[in-house]
């Protein structure tokens, strides 16, 4: 139980404007848990919202990547969860609709989205909660949701053929985790493309065999050379730039697979030659949210090289500064400690 009835939260007011407010602590209801936030990560979607590129109502508390401690449970919840360190999916699917049964919690028709993690407390559905393994820090557990987004996309792929080659464009957290999961999947050779030297170094640690700076080296020529002219079996775009996707068609072989890992602003359109799509038999996959991959991603995290992923930790009032640094790609992942 909490000792007070109010909590501190950062309310989004439009643009990169936030106000520090005292709000009522969410009341637990049946099958829910109240989590005291330890760490909340800043996502590319949060940045797009502040830039007007992703639709969201104003005057709300953002934040959907988080970890913390269960401090209160509702009726029907196992009381053994109290005081446990956890992370949770921001989308609590109803479990009953066609989308939940056949596809993914991310597409729940009742859209039971909660979160609001840029605050001291957040209310989540019990079924979305996962206990943090003993060999994973509570701070790094906040990386589960974005990592699961990459895993969800990779798990859509057909099983790769022997000696397959993949290209990953963009080496932020989504790109780095995509590299990791592709290597775990059995991809023989991974070529990564990233302008920032620090990110290229991390790409090597995560499993990239060849790293290039596209401002100095022609990616298409490298791919052609490394694949005997056939093109890559898999191309993953983890930037969120439609112009980058257009160039991906020059990198991929016939019957290749393309992953849209990066989040694109609403209204993004891409003109490309449908003739190539048809006759090259290219498959294109996009993934929205963690889907059903959340717990599997969490189980991978203790084995991933996460030491240099979190670039800075800010108090709740430092959220605008942290978002600005994230938008300027001054690091990999910036996080907020609401209760620091």
Rounded Cα distance between 117 and 132, Å, is 17
Q: Which residues of 55-85 are buried (b: 16+ CB within 10 A; e: fewer)?
A: eeeeeebbbbbbbbbbbbbbeebeeebeeeb
pLDDT in tens, 250-270: 999 999 999 999 888 777 887
Close Cβ partners of 155 (under 8 Å, ≥ 6 residues apart): 293
Residues of the chain with pLDDT under 70: 1-2, 92-93, 102-106, 109, 111-115, 271
Distance CA(230)–CA(241), nearest Å, equals 25
Domains of the chain: 6-144+290-336 (3.90.180.10), 157-286 (3.40.50.720)
Q: Based on C-alpha coordinates, what's the Rg of the chain? A: 20
pLDDT recorded at residue 333: 97
Q: Are strands 165-169 and 189-193 parallel, antiparallel or unpaired?
A: parallel
Distance, CA of 45 to CA of 62 (rounded, Å)? 10
Instruction: Check residue 143 and give its pLDDT.
Output: 98
Q: Specify the pLDDT at position 242.
A: 83
Predicted pLDDT of residue 102: 66
* Size (the chain), residues: 340
């Amino acid at each position: 139980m909490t000792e007070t009835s109010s909590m501190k939260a950062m309310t989004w007011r439009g643009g990169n404007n936030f106000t520090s407010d005292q709000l009522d602590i969410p009341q637990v209801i049946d099958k829910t848990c109240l989590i005291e936030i330890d760490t909340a990560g800043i996502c590319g979607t949060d940045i797009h919202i502040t830039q007007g590129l992703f639709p969201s109502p104003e005057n709300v508390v953002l934040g959907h990547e988080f970890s913390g401690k269960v401090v209160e449970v509702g009726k029907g919840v196992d009381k053994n969860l109290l005081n446990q360190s956890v992370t949770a999916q921001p989308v609590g699917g109803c479990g009953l609709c066609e989308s939940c049964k056949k596809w993914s919690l991310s597409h729940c028709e009742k859209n039971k989205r909660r979160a609001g993690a840029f605050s001291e407390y957040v209310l989540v559905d019990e079924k979305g909660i996962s206990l943090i393994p003993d060999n994973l820090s509570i701070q790094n557990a906040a990386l589960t949701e974005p990592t699961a987004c990459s895993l969800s996309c990779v798990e859509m792929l057909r099983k790769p053929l022997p000696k397959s080659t993949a290209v990953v464009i963009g080496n932020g957290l989504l790109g780095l985790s995509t590299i990791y999961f592709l290597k775990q999947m059995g991809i023989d050779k991974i070529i990564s493309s990233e302008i920032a030297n620090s990110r290229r170094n991390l790409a090597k640690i995560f499993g990239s065999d060849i790293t290039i700076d596209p401002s100095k080296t022609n990616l298409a020529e490298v791919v052609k050379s490394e694949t005997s002219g056939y093109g890559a079996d898999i191309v993953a775009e983890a930037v969120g730039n439609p112009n980058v996707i257009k160039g991906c068609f020059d990198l991929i072989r016939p019957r290749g697979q393309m992953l849209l890992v990066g989040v694109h602003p609403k209204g993004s359109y891409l003109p490309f030659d449908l003739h190539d799509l048809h006759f090259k038999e290219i498959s294109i996959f996009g993934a929205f949210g963690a889907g059903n991959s959340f717990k599997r991603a969490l189980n991978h995290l203790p084995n991933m090289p996460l030491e240099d992923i979190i670039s800075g930790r800010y108090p709740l009032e430092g959220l605008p500064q942290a978002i600005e640094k994230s938008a300027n790609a001054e690091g990999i992942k910036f996080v907020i400690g609401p209760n620091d």
